[in-house]
Amino acid sequence: MEKFRQTLKVKKERAVLVAAVLRSLDGADGLSELTALAESAGAVVVDKFQQKIRRINPSTYIGKGKAEQLETRVKRFRADVVIFDNDLSPGQIRELEKIVGAKVLDRSELILDIFATRAKTKQAKLQVELAQLEYTYPRLTRMWSHLDTVAGAGGGTTAGAVGGIGTRGPGEQQLEIDRRLVSKRITELKRELTKIDNRRIREIEARHGLFKICLVGYTNAGKSTLLNKLTDADVFVEDRLFATLDTRTRRWIPAKGVEVLISDTVGFVKSLPHQLVASFKATLEEAINADLLLHVIDVSNQDSINQIESVNNVLKEIGCGKKPILEVLNKVDVVKTIGNLDMLQTLYPDAVSISAKTGFGLDVLSEAITAKYKGSELMIRVEISLSNGKIQNFLRAHGKIINEQYGENSVIIEAGLGRNQLPELKRLHPENIEIIE
């Protein structure tokens, strides 16, 4: 294991991709996403191998014979690494490396590698490091116990004895040291992250009262492009998976008198390693605290229906399953066949079709968001003193004034107002508000 797994980085490495599928392979393109992920991590894909399996082989995942075929391909393409679309156990990785003669990585390790290279802010870096350690930690432990058994079987030492007769190699001692270092570092990272989390929670609480919108969606769907287009924010956009690893929040005015906060988030992906979901919770805090989620969908991607499902699953997992959500069908400028778009429009009749790139449909999106912001309309009647210009200005900006009846010192105004704006009106003017209908 140690021979190949000095580093899990795959940058510039020649990679053979493998997807083992338990069901039939009919129409499956199990490797298109793994290809995008591997390229995102900087690997050069030299060969792809899709394999239907009837059952998972406990020691090598795919069958022994298939693993041997893999070895031939690794040699032929001079590959440095074999990346599986499946999640493998440490034991399976070890066995496979022995057979194929190259480093073997699983899907989660690949995703963690991408996250590690993309993390820019301190928080993102700490979160990724924590996720990586949490993923490797049990593997170290299990590697350790495996070696213990080997030592025991040799009869020289019992497990845990120090300085036996040559059965405890330097690798084994190193593992024990690694294990202690890893566990110490995990504790440190958690402490630092809690500090940052508390600061962020305070920041989020300080925004209390403002309407919060959060962009969510599969990686590469166009969330950052949309945020840039709407708010002129300078957010890193790139045609790579996971371009954004930390959240950005901007102020946005979608219509006259409407001010909202809009946040970008890290892209979602199917079967996100659960260690990552956990440590990215703070990053997704924006989604948890949002009043409205904008689910950005890449309609030019043939797999968009599965991507939507993955995003909805993660949203459920982080407790956002019941939040108000508006589907945004993005990249309509590059849709080649309208079949996919048609189908999505039928599934989500309230969805807004846009192109974050060209700006198409952004006016309709602004209107749809404004309507959500305002909520259903209420008719109110309020009596205010003539000297109180603030309330009149508020109602002019946010509502529709239907009638004004001037008395000597006061005016009675009847106006239509969004349900969600009532609290703000009450804050400005706690008395004499009547809801007529």
Ligand X SMILES: Nc1nc2c(ncn2[C@@H]2O[C@H](COP(=O)(O)OP(=O)(O)OP(=O)(O)O)[C@@H](O)[C@H]2O)c(=O)[nH]1
Residue (324 or 359) nearer to ligand X, CB: 359
The token pair at 245 is: 């690893």
273 makes contact, choosing from Mg ion, ligand X, none, with CB < 5 to 8 Å by partner type, with none
With a CB cutoff of 8 Å and minimum separation 6, the contacts of 298 are 217, 218, 220, 221, 222, 304, 307, 330, 331
Helix axes 170-206, 122-154, angle to 10 degrees: 150
364 binds ligand X (CB under 6 A): no
73 binds ligand X (CB under 6 A): no
Shortest reach from residue 264's CB to Mg ion, in Å: 6
Which H helix or E strand runs over 85?
Answer: none
Residue (223 or 229) nearer to Mg ion, CB: 223
Using the contact rule CB under 6 A, the part of the chain among 13-21, 198-206, 218-226, 398-406 near ligand X is 218-226
Using the contact rule CB under 5 A, the part of the chain among 40-48, 110-118, 217-225, 306-314 near Mg ion is 217-225
Residues 43, 214, 243, 325: which binds Mg ion (CB under 5 A)?
A: 243
With tokens 């846009």, the residue in question is 354
Shortest reach from residue 186's CB to ligand X, in Å: 27
357 binds ligand X (CB under 6 A): yes
265 binds Mg ion (CB under 5 A): no
What is the rounded distance in angstroms from the CA atom of residue 138 to the CA atom of residue 136?
Answer: 6
Side by side, the strands of the sheet bearing 433-435 are 400-406, 410-418, 377-385, 433-435
Residue (214 or 395) nearer to ligand X, CB: 214
What is the rounded distance in angstroms from the CA atom of residue 325 to the CA atom of residue 306?
Answer: 18
Residue (43 or 391) nearer to ligand X, CB: 43
In contact, 351 and 340? CB cutoff 8 Å: no
Interface with Mg ion in residues 223-242 (CB under 5 A): 223-224
Single-letter amino acid, residue 316: K
Using the contact rule CB under 5 A, the part of the chain among 80-88, 167-175, 192-200, 219-227 near Mg ion is 219-227
259 makes contact, choosing from Mg ion, ligand X, none, with CB < 5 to 8 Å by partner type, with none
Q: What are phi and psi of 383, to 5 degrees?
A: -110, 125
Number of H helices and E strands in the chain, helices first, is 14, 14
What is the rounded distance in angstroms from the CA atom of residue 287 to the CA atom of residue 308?
Answer: 16
244 binds Mg ion (CB under 5 A): yes
Residue (18 or 111) nearer to ligand X, CB: 111
Which H helix or E strand runs over 125?
Answer: helix 122-154
5 binds ligand X (CB under 6 A): no
Nearest residue by C-beta to Mg ion?
244
CA dihedral 380, 383, 387, 390 (to 10 degrees): -20
What is the rounded distance in angstroms from the CA atom of residue 104 to the CA atom of residue 318?
Answer: 31
What is the rounded distance in angstroms from the CA atom of residue 84 to the CA atom of residue 49?
Answer: 9
220 makes contact, choosing from Mg ion, ligand X, none, with CB < 5 to 8 Å by partner type, with ligand X
Beta bridge partners of 319: none
Give the N- to C-terminal CA distance of the chain in Å, as an integer: 71
238 binds ligand X (CB under 6 A): yes
Interface with ligand X in residues 267-296 (CB under 6 A): 267
CA dihedral 246, 249, 255, 258 (to 10 degrees): 140
Q: 264-295 b/e with 16+ CB inside 10 Å = b?
A: bbbbbbeebbebbeebbbbbbbbbebbbbbbb
Here's the x/- map for Mg ion, 338-377, by CB under 5 A: it reads as ----------------------------------------
**Residues binding ligand X: number (CB under 6 A):** 23
Residues 224, 279, 301, 421: which binds ligand X (CB under 6 A)?
A: 224
Residue (168 or 223) nearer to Mg ion, CB: 223
Shortest reach from residue 369's CB to ligand X, in Å: 17
Using the contact rule CB under 6 A, the part of the chain among 222-230, 388-396, 398-406, 423-431 near ligand X is 222-230
Shortest reach from residue 304's CB to ligand X, in Å: 13
229 makes contact, choosing from Mg ion, ligand X, none, with CB < 5 to 8 Å by partner type, with none
Which H helix or E strand runs over 368?
Answer: helix 362-374
Using the contact rule CB under 6 A, the part of the chain among 44-52, 99-107, 240-248, 317-325 near ligand X is 240-248
222 makes contact, choosing from Mg ion, ligand X, none, with CB < 5 to 8 Å by partner type, with ligand X
What is the rounded distance in angstroms from the CA atom of residue 228 to the CA atom of residue 250?
Answer: 10
In contact, 424 and 433? CB cutoff 8 Å: no
Shortest reach from residue 311's CB to Mg ion, in Å: 14
Site residues (vs ligand X, CB under 6 A) = 217, 219-225, 237-239, 241-244, 267, 330-331, 333-334, 355-357
Would you tell me which residues interact with Mg ion (CB under 5 A)?
A: 223-224, 243-244
